[in-house]
Amino acid sequence: MMATVTKIAYKKRRLVFIAVLTCLVGAVFLTALDARPQQRSNSTPASEVADRAEQSFIRSVLYVMWERRTALTRQVVEHIRLALFAMALAVAVGVTTGVLLTRFRKLSTSVLGAASVIQTIPSLALLALMIPLLGIGLIPAVAALFLYALLPIMRNTYTAIDEVDPAIIEVGRGMGMTEWQILSRVQMPLCVPLVMAGIRTSTVICVGIATLCTFIGAGGLGTMIMEGMQTRGSALIFAGVVPAILLALALDGLMALAQKVLTPQGLKVPKVR
């Protein structure tokens, strides 16, 4: 049972990846088609930049990135900060709530349902909603990202604990473990793989949506992408998009590593028969 759920979570994560990569390839295609007419009407500073690096598109992107390295570095830092703050909060709240929900089952449907509803709000709309509530800047952005990251973590924690073999729990209880010992020594170690899968999904979501946080004044790589969009400077767009994708990949890789390290050895060994 648990394996199937992990597989589903894994598939979903892979789906996000494939989606991101498809977008990237598609964008390259479109901008390549778009690149020539833009070079002719070089009226904006961004296309001037593109003009100067006439040779190839990739070089022009790299050139923009180099030229704007200070801004880019700042935006990368802002981006990471947004994602990490939100993730730290989401992990703390999500895992705790997930565990608590297994103790108060009656609440689980409504709480998980509420989290799912939040998930369906378009990200731009959610960010906009934060303005009347929390104003602009880092705090409302982190709050919005946190809300998005919450569901995968909470749901996976709940499912993972819920699906630990009842025989194992019963033996633990029968041998004289307290409820806390059952949770900390048996259920928690066993649900690491699935919880980590949830955290990975959330991380990718967070890094992705963080590009929109520029709209409510929280900075991040979205700032550069926005600037590129406004000036029709595809090199500038890519100077923001590529680091955002690399960031998502890097953080996901980091989480994958954490998942591997944290998963108890006994769950990783090959089974006999």
> Would you tell me which residues interact with another protein (CB under 8 A)?
165, 167-168, 170-178, 181, 186, 189-190, 264-267, 269-273
Minimum CB–partner distance for residue 170 and another protein (Å): 7
Minimum CB–partner distance for residue 179 and another protein (Å): 10
Q: Which is nearer to another protein, 36 or 271 (CB)?
A: 271
Q: Which is nearer to another protein, 152 or 172 (CB)?
A: 172
97: number of Cβ within 10 Å = 19
Minimum CB–partner distance for residue 200 and another protein (Å): 20
Altogether, the residues listed in the chain come to a count of: 273
List phi, psi (to 5°) of 84.
-70, -40
Q: Which is nearer to another protein, 14 or 105 (CB)?
A: 105
Q: Which is nearer to another protein, 119 or 181 (CB)?
A: 181
Rg (CA), the chain: 22
Cβ partners under 8 Å of residue 21, min gap 6:
none
Q: Which is nearer to another protein, 83 or 182 (CB)?
A: 182
Minimum CB–partner distance for residue 199 and another protein (Å): 19
Minimum CB–partner distance for residue 180 and another protein (Å): 11
- DSSP per-residue codes, 204-259: HHHHHHGGGGGGGT--STHHHHHHHHHTT-HHHHHHHHHHHHHHHHHHHHHHHHHH
